[in-house]
Amino acid sequence: MTDATYVSPLAGQRSTSARFGRIALRAGLYAMLILFALWYLMPLFVMITTSLKSLDEIRTGSLVALPREITFEPWRIAWSQACTGTQCEGLKPFMWNSVIIAIPGVLISTLIGALNGYVFAQWRFRGANMIFALLLFGCFIPFQVVLLPMAKMLGILHLAGTIPGLILVHTIYGLGFTTLFFRNYYVTIPQELVRAAKIDGAAFFRIFWSIFLPLSLPIIVVSVIWQFTQIWNDFLFGVSFSGPGTQPVTVALNNIVNSTTGVKAYNVDMASAIIAALPTLFVYVVAGKYFIRGLTAGSVKG
């Protein structure tokens, strides 16, 4: 008969205390994260509630209070009848302008960036590192520096004040980022696949279309989300290079918010800002996890 193992009562107390300590620490961490999230989302909450209130309720009520009577009239005005300066025109045509600018700009810059990344990752030629460094340098040039050269170029090409001109500007300015994304992703693709394709007789661009492009979905998602966000949220290029009838939605939003005609309609301003932000918000809600996954896909070689 063996003796039973002796367990000190203090050991059980220490185990219970440690368990309660971990629970309290986790609860405190979650409480802090919830507070930070609420603080971060408070401006969005104020924008939504204000856009659903009448002007009388905004003047007499609290900023953070829920609307006593929900009205969608500010949203209708922002979409179809909002005043921009001396003219009254809603966001609808300007939203369409932004769509026309964003879609070709995203597709063209992504395709050319993929080709550039493939060349820099797989084609070893003299001066490749220097050219790639210059492209990276172009990523960090402030927008204000390129305004005059861009305006001069658009004037020479007779594209000033046009939507094709804005597409060209955004495509050129986005090439540095898309090239960087694809180059860093393509260097992680095993060289054995390239050698096997060369043995089978595949040429340079055949390897790109048959091997690299089908493996590029994660980084394509990153490039598309990045470029779409940059183009849609741009204001400086839009206000500098657009003309009457070709302004993107950010320029129209600025005109609405800064309009001095009549009484200041804060509910219309908030509704306009939410409408202008909905496309980028939708993109990140739907594909945000793929954006993070694509950014980390090329971080480890092998």
Instruction: State how far the Cα of 74 lies from the Cα of 264, in Å rounded to an integer.
Output: 12
| The dihedral sign for the CA sequence 142, 250, 257, 283 | negative
The answer on 96 and 49 residing in a single domain is: no
Instruction: State how far the Cα of 124 lies from the Cα of 126, in Å rounded to an integer.
Output: 7
Q: What total number of domains does the chain contain?
A: 2
Residue 38: inside a domain? yes
Predicted pLDDT of residue 1: 47
Residue 206: inside a domain? yes
Q: Return the DSSP state at 54.
A: -
Q: Is the pLDDT of residue 11 over 70?
A: no
Buried b (16+ CB within 10 A) or exposed e, 160-199: bbbbebbbbbbbbbbbbbbbbbbbbbbeebeeeebeebee
Mean pLDDT of 29-35: 93
The answer on 65 and 118 residing in a single domain is: no
Q: How far is CA 101 from CA 98, 168, 250, in A?
A: 5, 9, 12
pLDDT digits 0-9 by tens, 256-272:
877 755 667 888 889 99
Predicted pLDDT of residue 66: 86
Q: Return the DSSP state at 48.
A: H
The answer on 206 and 279 residing in a single domain is: yes
Residue written as tokens 């094709």?
164
Q: pTM score, two decimals?
A: 0.81
Report whether 227 contacts 110 (CB < 8 A): yes
Provide the 10 A C-beta neighbour count for residue 95. Answer: 19
Q: Where are the alpha helices (DSSP H) in the chain?
A: 9-51, 55-60, 73-76, 92-122, 128-139, 147-156, 163-186, 191-199, 204-207, 217-233, 236-241, 249-257, 266-297
Instruction: State how far the Cα of 167 lies from the Cα of 100, in Å rounded to an integer.
Output: 9
The answer on 143 and 214 residing in a single domain is: yes
Rg for the chain, CA atoms, rounded: 27
CATH of the domain at 110: 1.10.3720.10
The answer on 160 and 286 residing in a single domain is: yes
Q: Is the pLDDT of residue 236 over 50?
A: yes
Q: Which amino acid is present at 109?
A: S
Q: Is the pLDDT of residue 82 over 80?
A: no
The answer on 264 and 159 residing in a single domain is: yes
Instruction: State how far the Cα of 106 lies from the Cα of 178, in Å rounded to an integer.
Output: 10
Q: Determine the angle formed by the axes of helices 92-122 and 249-257, rounding to 10 degrees.
A: 140
The answer on 267 and 139 residing in a single domain is: yes
From the centroid of its chain, how far is CA 300?
24
Question: Per residue, what are the HEC states of 89-123?
Answer: CCCHHHHHHHHHHHHHHHHHHHHHHHHHHHHHHHC
The answer on 92 and 67 residing in a single domain is: no
Least-confidence region, from 20-24, 25-29, 98-102: 20-24
Q: Is the pLDDT of residue 49 over 70?
A: yes
pLDDT digits 0-9 by tens, 137-168:
878 888 888 888 889 999 999 998 899 999 99
Least-confidence region, from 81-85, 92-96, 276-280, 291-295: 81-85
Domain of residue 209: give its range: 87-297
